[in-house]
């Protein structure tokens, strides 16, 4: 070490020799310390990485795999691993809660879809409903062999003038609901109700060689049902029914509040059979009579003046030969 005087001039040089062995030992100790620190740092880094992998990365990967698996299977009833009380557990619990909400929403959507499908099938035949989903244009199809029935409650207009509207509607709904059940049981297609008139067809949307027989059975059961309903409710209801068979065009037109309807001369004539029929009777055209099997009791009514057709020979369906007369 160099010592200087107040003026800065060197006056003394001091030398303290260190033995080489002591210097080497100190340097070696320093190297060992540095190596020990490096090893400790490496071990610490490895430990941190292992803990990071175990505590964070693996659990994060597992959470991701669970979410991907649920997405691939579309199974919202499955859940992700969410055990523990740390942040990842809370994330898993949040994902499970979200899945529960999605499952609930999906179930509600399915229920609404099924309800909507049911309502649509109550309005339209299933084949027409399927076509409507893919084609919003008018849908029409011709059917060569069908039978059409119109039924009307005799004296309904007079009844409506003396009865409260709510009670009248309840009676009409009760009777027509039973008609709906009969149509469903027989595999027939209800077309519509217009006031106190009820319209049903046999032979569409799927062709049926027994369309006339099925509709005749329906008509006889409608007469029976009306009689039983009248006794049950204490009201005097009588039904007038008309049936015709032939060619029709069936389908839907328009795009708002559409209904499945029928068009054609056969439809008009069926309506005329109802309007010119006798109270409590089932009037048939010759076309329908010719299509009915031998098991029905049918009598010729004679000539009836039909609007747009002049005089026509019509027939009355009295019942089944095997079950006795079913209409008055």
pLDDT at residue 327 tops 60: no
CA gap 266, 251 in Å, rounded = 15
Spot the catalytic one: 66, 139, 196, 217: 196
Grouping H, G, I as helix, E, B as strand and the rest as coil, residue 262 is strand
Query: pLDDT tens digits for 190-206?
Result: 888 888 899 999 998 88
- State the CB neighbour count (10 A cutoff) for residue 314: 22
Q: What is the pTM of this model?
A: 0.65
Query: pLDDT tens digits for 92-129?
Result: 667 777 777 777 887 788 777 777 666 666 666 666 66
Question: What is the reported pLDDT for 323?
Answer: 55
Residue 152 a catalytic site member:
yes
pLDDT band per the 50, 70, 90 thresholds, residue 148: very high
Mean pLDDT across 22-28: 81
Question: What is the reported pLDDT for 221?
Answer: 94
Residue 243 a catalytic site member:
no
pLDDT band per the 50, 70, 90 thresholds, residue 326: very low
Residue 144 a catalytic site member:
no
159, 141, 113: which is closest to 251 by C-alpha? 141
Spot the catalytic one: 152, 191, 213, 298: 152
CA gap 280, 286 in Å, rounded = 20
Helix (H) or strand (E) holding 302: strand 296-306
Query: pLDDT exceeding 70 applies to what percent of the chain?
Result: 78
Grouping H, G, I as helix, E, B as strand and the rest as coil, residue 59 is helix
Q: What domains are there in the chain, each with its CATH number? A: 18-110 (no CATH), 138-325 (3.30.70.1230)
Question: What is the reported pLDDT for 130?
Answer: 66
Highest mean pLDDT among 71-85, 99-113, 180-194: 180-194
CA gap 70, 91 in Å, rounded = 16
3 state SS for 58-119: HHHHHHHHHHHHHHHHCCCCCCCCCCCCCHHHHHHHHHHHHHHHHHHHHHHHHHHHHHHHHH
Which two three-digit tokens encode residue 86?
A: 């740390």
User: Tokens 């095997």 belong to which residue?
Assistant: 322
CA gap 190, 208 in Å, rounded = 15
Mean pLDDT across 244-250: 92
């Amino acid at each position: 070490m160099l010592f200087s005087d107040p003026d800065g001039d060197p006056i003394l040089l001091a030398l303290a020799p260190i033995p080489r062995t002591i210097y080497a030992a100190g340097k070696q100790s320093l190297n060992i310390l540095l190596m020990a620190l490096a090893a400790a740092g490496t071990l610490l880094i490895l430990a941190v990485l292992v803990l990071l992998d175990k505590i964070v990365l693996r659990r994060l990967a597992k959470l991701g795999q669970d979410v991907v698996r649920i997405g691939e299977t579309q199974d919202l009833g499955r859940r992700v691993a969410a055990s523990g009380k740390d942040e990842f557990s809370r994330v898993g619990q949040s994902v499970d809660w979200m899945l529960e909400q999605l499952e609930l929403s999906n179930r509600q959507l399915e229920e609404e879809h099924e309800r909507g499908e049911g309502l649509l099938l109550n309005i339209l035949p299933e084949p027409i409903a399927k076509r409507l989903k893919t084609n919003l244009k008018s849908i029409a199809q011709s059917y060569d062999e069908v039978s059409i029935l119109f039924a009307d409650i005799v004296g309904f207009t007079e009844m409506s003038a003396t009865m409260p509207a709510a009670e009248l509607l309840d009676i009409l709904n009760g009777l027509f609901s039973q008609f709906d059940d009969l149509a469903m049981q027989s595999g027939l297609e209800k077309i519509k109700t217009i006031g106190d008139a009820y319209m049903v067809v046999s032979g569409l949307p799927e062709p049926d060689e027994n369309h006339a027989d099925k509709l005749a059975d329906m008509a006889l059961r409608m007469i029976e049902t009306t009689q039983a309903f009248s006794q049950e409710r204490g009201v005097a209801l009588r039904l007038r029914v008309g049936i015709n068979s032939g060619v029709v065009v069936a389908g839907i037109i328009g795009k708002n509040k559409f209904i499945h309807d029928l068009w054609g001369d056969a439809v008009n004539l069926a309506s005329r059979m109802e309007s010119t029929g006798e109270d409590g009777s089932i009037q048939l055209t010759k076309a329908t009579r010719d299509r009915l099997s031998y098991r029905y009791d049918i009598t010729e009514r004679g000539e009836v003046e039909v609007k747009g057709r002049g005089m026509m020979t019509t027939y009355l369906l009295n019942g089944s030969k095997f079950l006795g007369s079913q209409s008055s």
